[in-house]
Amino acid sequence: MKLAPFSLLCASAAFSFTAPASADGTLTTMPHGRYQCSLPGDAGGPARLMVEEAHFRIASASSYRSPKGRGVYIMRGKELHFTRGPKNGERYKRVGDTALQKLDAKGELTRLLCSRVGPKA
């Protein structure tokens, strides 16, 4: 079967939009909503220790809101970088569909985990 040039162009365009995104730095966003951050607890106490000042809310247009104010983030592949606002300079690695783990200055995972707990409301 031979396709006309226009049909071939449409077929290739459809394939390019349905191909999975790569994790090599493709720009994406996180699901909107409230993210609560916590540290692991221990067997003698609570399973998680909430870190209230680290909580944030992901909103539209790659923006966020934290207890200290608003800002902007960029998500490249699996790394989220806060680029403006009170969390400017903080970096996180996406470790699940709606979970982020904070990175230290060397890019190593820390113990702080932030998970989406509700819609953007």
CA distance 28 to 75: 5
- Which residues, given as ranges, of the chain have pLDDT below 70? 1-24, 120-121
Q: What is the pTM of this model?
A: 0.76
Q: Which domains does the chain have, with CATH numbers?
A: 21-118 (2.40.128)
Check residue 120 and give its pLDDT.
55
Check residue 3 and give its pLDDT.
46
Q: Dihedral (C-alpha) 79, 38, 119, 56: value to the nearest 10 degrees?
A: -70
